[in-house]
C-alpha cells in the first residue's frame, strides 16, 4: 500500500509540473487584455455585446411615474464595451494584418455612438451621473467616481460624435438590411447630435445636424413621411 501511495505521489508531481502553464489562473481582478485583443473578430465581438446590452436598456430608457424600477447599471455596461473598443481596437492593427485602418475607424464610430447614446439616456433620466471614459481592466480603476454635471456630459457626447464623424468612416449603410437598421450609421450620429444639442438648448447646432438628415440626397437615407400612415 505504501508503494502504491509513493507511486501515485510521484505521478501526481510529474503531472502538476507538466501542466503548470494551463493551471496558471489570472486573478479575478485582472483581465488578460493583451491575450484577448488579437483580431478584428475580437473587436466585432465586443461591439456586438455593446449592442446586445443596449437592447437590455430599453425598459429603463424612459422614466415615468409608473416606472417600478430605475437603474443605470446596464447603460454603464454598454459604456464599458464602447470604452474598451476605443482603447484597444487601435492596438489590434499591429497584430492582425487583415484589420485595416478604415475598418477600425468604422468600429470606432460605432463605439462613439454607443457611448454617446448611453450617456444621453442617462442625462435625460438622472441629469448628473458619473462620466467614465476608460474601460475597467483591473481593481486599480476607481469605483467611487463622483457625478459630473449635465453640461459636462452633454459636451462629452458632442465631442464623441465629432470624433466619430471626423474619421470619415461612419457608414451610410451596412451589408444587409438588418445591420443597416441595427448598427450605428452616419445618419444615427447626426440624429444623436441633433437630439443632444436640443437637450442642451443649443438650437442653432441642432438645426445644422437635423438639416444633414432632412436635406440628404444619398440614395439610401432616412426618409420622413408626410403622414403618420
Q: Are 183 and 51 in contact (CB under 8 A)?
A: yes
**Average pLDDT over every residue of 122-149:** 85
Give the cell for residue 73: 447599471
Q: What is the per-residue pLDDT across 30-76, written as a single tens digit (0 to 9) for each?
A: 444 556 788 899 999 999 999 999 998 888 888 777 777 777 888 99
* Mean pLDDT confidence for 89-93: 92
* Bridge partners (DSSP) listed for residue 130: 147
Task: Considering only residues 211 and 144, tell me which one the structure prediction assigns the higher pLDDT.
Answer: 211
Phi-psi region of 118 (alpha: psi -120 to 50; beta: other; left: phi over 0): alpha
pTM of the model: 0.81
Distances, alpha carbon 215 to alpha carbons 119, 154, 187, 206, in Å: 27, 25, 12, 14
**Cα–Cα distance, 197 to 207 (Å, whole number):** 9
Q: Does 131 have pLDDT greater than 70?
A: yes
For 88-114, the DSSP string reads HHHHHTTT-TT--HHHHHHHHHHHHHH
Amino acid at each position: 500500500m505504501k508503494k502504491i501511495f509513493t507511486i501515485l505521489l510521484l505521478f501526481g508531481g510529474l503531472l502538476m509540473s507538466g501542466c503548470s502553464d494551463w493551471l496558471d489562473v489570472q486573478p479575478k481582478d485582472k483581465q488578460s487584455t493583451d491575450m484577448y485583443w488579437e483580431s478584428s473578430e475580437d473587436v466585432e465581438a465586443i461591439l456586438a455585446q455593446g449592442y446586445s446590452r443596449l437592447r437590455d436598456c430599453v425598459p429603463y430608457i424612459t422614466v415615468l411615474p409608473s416606472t417600478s424600477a430605475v437603474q443605470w447599471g446596464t447603460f454603464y455596461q454598454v459604456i464599458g464595451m464602447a470604452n474598451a473598443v476605443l482603447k484597444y481596437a487601435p492596438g489590434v492593427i499591429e497584430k492582425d494584418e487583415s484589420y485595416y485602418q478604415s475598418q477600425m475607424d468604422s468600429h470606432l464610430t460605432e463605439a462613439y455612438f454607443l457611448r454617446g447614446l448611453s450617456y444621453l439616456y442617462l442625462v435625460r433620466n438622472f441629469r448628473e451621473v458619473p462620466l467614465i471614459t476608460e474601460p475597467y481592466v483591473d481593481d486599480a480603476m476607481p469605483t467611487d467616481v463622483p457625478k459630473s454635471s449635465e453640461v459636462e456630459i452633454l459636451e462629452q457626447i458632442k465631442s464623441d460624435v465629432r470624433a466619430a464623424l471626423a474619421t470619415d468612416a461612419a457608414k451610410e449603410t451596412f451589408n444587409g438590411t438588418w445591420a443597416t437598421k441595427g448598427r450605428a450609421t452616419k445618419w444615427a450620429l447626426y440624429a444623436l447630435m441633433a437630439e443632444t444639442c436640443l437637450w442642451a438648448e443649443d438650437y442653432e447646432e441642432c438645426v445644422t445636424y437635423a438639416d444633414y438628415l432632412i436635406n440628404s440626397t444619398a440614395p439610401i437615407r432616412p426618409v420622413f413621411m408626410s403622414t403618420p400612415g
